A = this chain, B = another copy of it.
Amino acid sequence: LRMSKGTVILAYSGGLDTSCILVWLKEQGYDVIAFLANIGQDEDFEAARIKAEKLGAKKVFIEDLRSEFVEDFIWPSVQANAVYEDRYLLGTAIARPCIARSQVEIARREGAQFVSHGATGKGNDQIRFELTCYALYPEVEIIAPWRIPDFYNRFRGRTDLMEYAQKHGIPVPVTPKAPWSMDANLMHISYESGILENPKSHAPADLYLMTKNPEDSPNTPDVLEIEFGNGVPLKVTNVKEGKSKNSPLDIFSYLNEIGGKHGVGRIDIVENRFIGMKSRGIYETPGGTILLQAHLDIETFTMDKEVRRIKQGLGIKFSELVYNGFWYSPECDFVRHCINKSQENVQGKVQLSVFKGQVYILGRESPKSLYNEELVSMDVQGNYDPCDASGFIRINAVRLREHHRLQGVSSIKK
């Protein structure tokens, strides 16, 4: 009788790859506990449980992380206006620490020394996953089969996996695989690899699962009012229908529904992975895109401009950290704390319309606004002396005139 090498908590998806990994880990002499995180992807969790059990998982844990995903990961990203490289809303990046946190908790609880996952060796997810594990469970050992030569040399393509599956009684998918890979959660679906690897090729029209094609979306907008407190949504109301939602998960799901219906949040980008490669990704982030626009609006309305400037820099830093897998790091803790502090007065209501892939801000109001209608008015003077502006401008020009004195202006146009 062979001794077990120990217990592995495997992040199990129910798909072909992680099913093969489950069996392979057993072959290697580990006890395997399968862990499935429900973060809003479309999945038959019970079928996956049964499958894992059949494949020899000692235990199977299925955790509904949807609410904590919204509150602990999506909300801070909304506060930060988190966007990586000016375009990507980080839907996958924030899901990884959420999943890994839960996996590590199970590992600690079950006394498992090992965790494993099916992420590839070229991607960002392996890093996001493992840095979370090392940060929260420093003694953990990580088994990443796609980086183990024995494994990746054995499974050089899908055919090898299929063969192995058939040999080991792993149910083989009957529908053909899409010629790309995808990753779905409550925040977004991402598509990459396969035919998408050619950055010049247009994405097929039928790729998108979460949003309607704007060409086919309704011809009349939905108008929403989103109420914020401390920089996060407290309530969303469909202004015409009167319907409203006010728990975090309900709010976000409803924004997904409306955004999806109107084709909001599709992007096709090339991005820079942490490991230094450029990759092409296609994303759809309906609810997140609406929230980004709404939050930008209420934030500028209520936040001092110089605080905003500093906070904008912190938000960019936050986005880079999260993209690179450092959600659980001292610097990301620090940045999150600072950003959260900046949101104290980010409170009020934004009205917006959602239509044909776009979000249009219509108006905003707030008890905490720094907008002063009288002060800014062109029709009344308010508590403002226009003469002050002359001095302001002349003092700002002191330096520019000195520079000119030195440089001369041989030719103004250059």
Interface size on A, residues (CB 8 A): 134
In A16-53, the 8 Å CB interface with B consists of none
Given contacts A215-B355, A394-B385, whether A399 and B305 have CB atoms under 8 Å apart is yes
6 pairs of residues in contact across A and B, judged by CB atoms under 8 Å: A121-B386, A199-B364, A270-B364, A273-B376, A330-B403, A387-B391
**B297 & A400 in contact (Cβ 8 Å cutoff):** no
**A181 & B266 in contact (Cβ 8 Å cutoff):** no
Bound-state CA distance A308–B399 (Å) is: 13
**A275 & B392 in contact (Cβ 8 Å cutoff):** yes
Contacts of A356 in B (CB 8 A): 214, 355-358
In A332-346, the 8 Å CB interface with B consists of 334-335, 337-338, 341-342, 345
**A307 & B331 in contact (Cβ 8 Å cutoff):** yes
Given contacts A214-B358, A395-B388, whether A304 and B131 have CB atoms under 8 Å apart is no
Give the interface segment out of A2-10, A165-173, A247-255, A365-373.
A365-373
- Interface residue? A116 (CB, 8 A): no
Contacts of A101 in B (CB 8 A): 412-413
- Interface residue? A228 (CB, 8 A): no
Which residues of A come within 8 Å of B, CB atoms? 68, 72, 81, 85-87, 101, 104-105, 120-122, 126-127, 130-131, 134-136, 138, 144, 146-147, 149, 152, 157, 181, 193-194, 197-203, 214-215, 219-221, 266-273, 275-280, 296-297, 300-301, 304-314, 316-317, 320, 325-326, 328-331, 334-335, 337-338, 341-342, 345, 351, 355-358, 360-365, 368-373, 375-379, 384-406, 409, 412-413
